[in-house]
Amino acid sequence: MLKVEINGQQFEAEPGSTIIEVADNAGIYIPRFCYHEKLSVAANCRMCLVEVERAPKPLPACATPVTDGMVVQTLSDIAKQAQADTMEFLLINHPLDCPICDQGGECPLQDQAMGFGGSSSVFEEVKRSVDNVDIGPLITTEMTRCIHCTRCVRFGEEVAGVMELGAIGRGEDMKISTFLGTSMDSEVSGNVIDLCPVGALTSKPYRFTARTWELNGHKGISPHDCLGSNLEIQEIGGVVKRVLPRDNEAVNECWLSDRDRYSYESVNSSDRLTMPLVRRGENYQEIEWAEALDLVSSKLMQIKETWSGKEIGAIASPTASLEEFFLLQKILRALGSSNVDHRLRQQDFRDDLAAPVCPGTDVSISKLQELDGVLIVGSNIRKELPLISLRLRRVAQQGGEIAVLNPMSFDHNFATTQEMIVKPSMMAIAFASIARKIAMATGKEDLLPIDLVELATRHEFGINVDAIANSLIRNGTDALILLGQIGMNHPDASTLRQITSWLGVNCGIRIAILPDANGVAGWVAGCVPHRLPGGHSNSSPGLNCKKMIDQRLKAYVLYGVEVSNDYSDPVALDTALNEAEFVVSFSTFRSAVPEQADVVLPLAAFTEIDAGYINCEGVAQFANAAVNPMGQSRPGWKILRVLGNFLKLAGFDHVSSKDIIAELEEVYDLSAPISVRYKPDLQAINHVVTQSAEVKNGKQLDRIIDVPVYSVDPTVRRATALQSTKDADTVALLACAEELEELGFKHGGQIAVRSETGEVMLPVQPDERVPRGAVYVPAGLSETSVLGSLSVVMVQAME
């Protein structure tokens, strides 16, 4: 430890730390623009100049390492003069247009000009001005305000992994721009808004809609992925104006994905449901809550009495809150049905009974970047979990090895050491081969289930397999296997989960079995047919969502589910709803309600509810309602609670959402660490799925099913700015050139994709990331919903 004196006080400092770090730790503020603790040191703004004893000139605190016995003055005349002079230089070309700048009120330049600058300038010449570039629908530029700190440039290059902004030109002509005015397309681009210390980069949807000092902030949690980013939801007068990150090193650090930052837009849309609706003939009529709930309860009771409670099924969006999951299953179970599920896109449920209490990770999120080896199985991780991808990027930057087993070669924002790309139907076989190699190398071969060995030997993949296996078990390697959404929703998902878990149990590899959105809470709350709340076993298991739909029940409760997008097989769901006697739809948006709904109950949006979320690490986090529900919409837990009363069920007298959590905590300790290992289940290892498309015409190919980043849930799908990004605009079939040639595809044509349930014509983009024998057809979109959920399709080129 070194001894350093700052402003007359003594501090201890690690060798190698800089003056600004020591000062920050000690709570001594040194002004800065370019320095940011998550970015490299550029030392180009010079705002942090301080006086250091025996140094001939003031030194930049952000770039000066401390030495033993160093004496620093941050408030001496020399330091203050240096800072004031720097400020004067910085303001030479700055437009000083604070009154019309969105950054005003939360602007480091404004604040530091007040705190450390002079009151006038000797500069009387003409200021430069810079043309703005349009960098897409999310970020507005006002480049004349830029002070060239290069935080935004460094963020792209160092953190996001795609350098989209750069400093072009030099000297007085230097400006920050994308390459020739292209858009910023990164899934974490919005962070440059927070980083920019001036108003050069601001939020486009928020632009000119509020002044920062008028905003009230509330704690939110993002419902869109299983990370549960901490949000600062800001509103004025009950209208959400924007969403910012809340720092939480253990979850999102100081970042947000664009999906979390901009999804709030849909909450204010005119598509919101503001009254309960009932169907009268062809049309819907607005009715009072009491009437609506009375209708729902009497209908459900009638079905229970005429047939049985088992004729009622509830399927919930995985974005629902812990409280909602809990009350929903409670109602269903009180009605005598365990038909309740939230795993809307899952297709393979063979391993349900072998499952742990909930899926998740057995390494904490904050330790992800310390891993030495990672194998990603079935995930476009960068779009699925943008902030986890940023942590994995650090693994690669620090020399760790990241290998990938995927049905197509997605663009990662980190370097991969091995990529094994196999068509979807080969995923389980390929994974089994890797597992076998790992078992052999760790001397665990004898423990391998025979079915797994059989699976592994069906195909010879070559040295790739050895290289991947090696990267995970090299001496002293702290390695992780991460199973993502493509894996979880694969027809052989049980096999993939079993293999993952087997490796976790037997070969000392950490595992992450990642659910969709708030899925961990869904499991914990008992919103699965085979388990009670807290993961307790259920003696009379119900139907999983696939069976509920295939078996055509009499009544369906759709909880936040949009038929053509959220369920893996929209056609089957649609048919089931057609045949059902009663359908009640809980929905936030009018356009998300299926036409079969008999009663529609308006759900409050995620910004309007007190809600619990459990992230993939098993950490429960709670959001506060930022604003009141729009119109007559109500928080889901309140609707469910009152519905319980209308049904005259016992135990529905919760006064606040906390009471619901307390009830859950009687059977489950929310603070306990989770285990994510599956019990061995031989049946689930059997690779049983050989699907075939039962239609003629065309060539049978595997379909790569993945949900695009901005199509994951009804809220995101209605966020207008996100929907204008590049990531949202491709509804196309992707296939490699060789495959297209074999299909006889001619440039400019379309391709017909058929399944037994329907046919779509899609535009085509040749894409070498897709392997032979497969096509990528996005899911989660109404355009492709007629294809159902089979992972094989018939494909034919059309004129």
Interface residues with ligand SF4 (CB under 6 A) are 146-152, 176, 195-198, 200-201
- Helical segments of 338-460, H only: 381-384, 386-397, 427-441, 450-456
Q: Does 737 bind other proteins (CB under 8 A)?
A: no
Calculate the CA 135 to chain-centre distance.
23
Residue whose CB is less far from ligand FES, 4 or 762: 4
Q: Does 242 bind ligand FES (CB under 6 A)?
A: no
Q: Greatest CA separation found in the chain?
A: 92
Stretch that binds other proteins, among 174-182, 191-199, 281-289, 655-663 (CB under 8 A): 174-182
Calculate the CA 109 to chain-centre distance.
32
CB of 390 to ligand FES, least distance (A): 23
Q: Does 642 bind other proteins (CB under 8 A)?
A: no
Q: Does 667 bind other proteins (CB under 8 A)?
A: no
CB of 192 to ligand SF4, least distance (A): 6
Contact residue for other proteins among 65, 104, 118, 166 (CB under 8 A)? 166
558: enclosing H helix or E strand: strand 555-559
691 binds, among ligand FES, ligand SF4, other proteins, none (CB under 5 to 8 A by kind): none
User: Angle at which helices 322-334 and 657-665 pack, to 10 degrees?
Assistant: 70
For ligand FES (CB under 6 A), the number of binding residues is 12
Residue whose CB is less far from other proteins, 167 or 670: 167
Quick one: three-class SS letters along 659-689? HHHHHHHCCCCCCCCCCCCCCCCHHHHCCCC
200 binds, among other proteins, ligand SF4, ligand FES, none (CB under 5 to 8 A by kind): ligand SF4
Residue whose CB is less far from ligand FES, 32 or 718: 32
For residue 70, what are the β-bridge partners? 4
CB of 145 to ligand SF4, least distance (A): 7
148 binds, among ligand SF4, other proteins, ligand FES, none (CB under 5 to 8 A by kind): ligand SF4
CB of 86 to ligand FES, least distance (A): 9
Q: How far apart are CA 689 and CA 187, in angstroms?
A: 34
Task: HSE, CB side, 13 Å, CA atoms: give it for residue 191.
Answer: 30
Query: For residue 714, which phi and psi values (nearest 5 degrees)?
Result: -60, -35
Tokens of 205: 């949807």
651 binds, among other proteins, ligand SF4, ligand FES, none (CB under 5 to 8 A by kind): none
Residue whose CB is less far from ligand SF4, 255 or 264: 255
695 binds, among ligand FES, other proteins, ligand SF4, none (CB under 5 to 8 A by kind): none
For residue 698, give Cα distances in angstroms to 71, 693, 739, 764. Answer: 78, 10, 13, 16
CB of 65 to ligand FES, least distance (A): 13
CB of 157 to other proteins, least distance (A): 8
Q: Does 565 bind other proteins (CB under 8 A)?
A: no
Contact assessment for residue 219 and residue 231, using Cβ atoms and an 8 Å cutoff: yes
Tokens of 446: 């004898």
The DSSP bridge pattern shows strands 750-755 and 792-798 to be: antiparallel
The angle formed by the CA atoms of residues 36, 37 and 43, to the nearest 5 degrees, is 50
Residue whose CB is less far from ligand FES, 45 or 355: 45
Q: Does 32 bind ligand FES (CB under 6 A)?
A: yes
760: enclosing H helix or E strand: strand 758-766
Count CB atoms within 10 A of the CB of residue 493: 26
CB of 142 to ligand FES, least distance (A): 21
Q: Does 180 bind other proteins (CB under 8 A)?
A: yes
Residue type, 204: K
- What lies within 8 Å, CB to CB, of 126 at 6+ separation is none
Residue numbers 275-304 binding other proteins by CB under 8 A: none
Q: How far apart are CA 531 and CA 535, in angstroms?
A: 5
Residue whose CB is less far from other proteins, 133 or 753: 133
CB of 274 to ligand SF4, least distance (A): 40
Residue whose CB is less far from ligand SF4, 155 or 652: 155
CB of 149 to ligand FES, least distance (A): 7
43 binds, among ligand FES, other proteins, ligand SF4, none (CB under 5 to 8 A by kind): ligand FES
Q: Does 362 bind other proteins (CB under 8 A)?
A: no
- Show the site string, 36-75: x = touches ligand FES by CB under 6 A, - = not: -------xxxxxx-----------x-x-------------
Q: How far apart are CA 204 and CA 152, in angstroms?
A: 16
Q: Of 674, 654, 675, which is closest to residue 664 (Cα–Cα)?
A: 654
Residue whose CB is less far from ligand FES, 34 or 135: 34
- Show the site string, 105-144: x = touches other proteins by CB under 8 A, - = not: ----------------------------------------
Tokens of 44: 């180009």
Tokens of 527: 């919103």
Q: How far apart are CA 706 and CA 775, in angstroms?
A: 11
60 binds, among ligand FES, other proteins, ligand SF4, none (CB under 5 to 8 A by kind): ligand FES
CB of 94 to other proteins, least distance (A): 22
Contact residue for other proteins among 86, 93, 112, 178 (CB under 8 A)? 178
Contact residue for other proteins among 21, 164, 253, 562 (CB under 8 A)? 164
CB neighbour class for 306 (10 Å; exposed up to 12, middle 13-18, buried from 19):
exposed
CB of 256 to other proteins, least distance (A): 23
CB of 165 to ligand SF4, least distance (A): 7
For the chain, report the end-to-end CA distance as a whole number of angstroms: 74
Contact assessment for residue 348 and residue 688, using Cβ atoms and an 8 Å cutoff: no
Token pair 């419902």 in the structure block, residue: 223
469 binds, among ligand SF4, other proteins, ligand FES, none (CB under 5 to 8 A by kind): none
DSSP 156: I
Residue whose CB is less far from other proteins, 166 or 508: 166
Q: Does 33 bind ligand FES (CB under 6 A)?
A: yes
Burial 608-643 (b: 16+ CB within 10 A, else e): bbbbbbbbbbbbbbbbebbbebbeebbbbbbbbbbb
Q: How far apart are CA 474 and CA 357, in angstroms?
A: 31
CB of 656 to ligand SF4, least distance (A): 42
User: Angle at which helices 636-646 and 289-306 pack, to 10 degrees?
Assistant: 60
CB of 166 to other proteins, least distance (A): 4
Count CB atoms within 10 A of the CB of residue 94: 21
For residue 6, what are the β-bridge partners? 9, 72
Residue whose CB is less far from other proteins, 169 or 238: 169
Binding site for ligand FES (CB under 6 A): 32-35, 43-48, 60, 62
Binding site for other proteins (CB under 8 A): 157, 162-170, 177-180
